[in-house]
Amino acid sequence: MSTITKNTKIYIAGHRGMVGTSIWRTLEAKGYTKLIGKTSKELDLRNQQAVYDFVKQEAPQVIIDAAARVGGILANKDYPYNFLMENMQIQNNLISAAHQLAVQKFIFLGSSCIYPKFAPQPLKEEYLLTDSLEPTNEWYAIAKISGVKLCEAIRKQFGKDFVSLMPTNLYGPHDNFDLETSHVLPAMLRKFHEAAQNGHTPVTLWGTGRPMREFLHVDDLAQAVLFALENQ
């Protein structure tokens, strides 16, 4: 039985991002009154001591990790070290502090890119680590896999309520439309919009068009996070 109430103190890491703002809106609309958020300037999640001190001081009962360094194919290609290192730092610092300071519940948000490039469709959890990853985002995927496994290890060894959710390609309010760092759907929307403004000029899309992609509105993901919050 879940002990989460509307007065539960919840820290949403990454509360200014597309996912974080949607989760914040959803929880607020459901009547949650003790939501905590910090900007990257106020709290550098890559700094282990700073994260530990913050969690100790604020003492949240729940942490929702919606913070990450994200980007599309080009960003992953150009900054592999940053995508691997910074995402591991962010999630490890949060998970470690939550474990050490007895946070009641931890919800880790990963990505469907953790699954093998040629995994059967539809994806199933047992396909994880059965084959090679998609090379264009393997750095981000490896970081997220380590986060999933860390939560799994804590749950297995200590019996704590640490869970992982794997959203697919997201879109919605507060999305990133920069053509160098955005994901596929906002990039296509911008290209189509600018082509229409420029007299319906031709639009060039990356790839062959054969891979299957699944898209999820960010507010639907927030509903899934709410369900995970209120159910064990």
Q: What is the pLDDT of residues 4-33, one digit of tens each?
A: 999 999 999 999 999 999 999 999 999 999
Segment of 10-24, 73-87, 113-127 carrying the highest mean pLDDT = 10-24
CA-angle at 85, arms to 80 and 88, nearest 5°: 125
- Specify the residue for token string 């509903």: 223
Instruction: Identify the DSSP state of 32.
Output: -
The token pair that represents 61 in the structure block: 């009962």
pLDDT of residue 60: 98
Q: Taking 80 as the threshold, does the pLDDT of residue 73 lie above it?
A: no
Average pLDDT for 110-131 = 93
Q: How far apart, in whole angstroms, are the C-alpha atoms of residue 166 and residue 20?
A: 15
Q: Looking at 11, 32, 115, 140, which residue is catalytic?
A: 140
Protein fold of 10-171+216-230: Rossmann fold (3.40.50)
Element (H, E) at 62: strand 62-65
What residues contact residue 89 under an 8 Å CB cut-off, 6+ apart?
A: 45, 46, 48
Domain boundaries along the sequence of the chain = 10-171+216-230
CA 40 to chain centre: 16
Q: Taking 80 as the threshold, does the pLDDT of residue 65 lie above it?
A: yes
Q: Would you tell me the crossing angle of helices 18-29 and 218-230 to the nearest 10 degrees?
A: 60
Mean pLDDT over the full length of the chain: 93
Active site residue 11: no
More confident residue, 182 or 161: 161
The token pair that represents 216 in the structure block: 């999820």
What residues contact residue 102 under an 8 Å CB cut-off, 6+ apart?
A: none
The token pair that represents 182 in the structure block: 């955005």
Give pTM, 2 decimals: 0.90
pLDDT of residue 208: 83
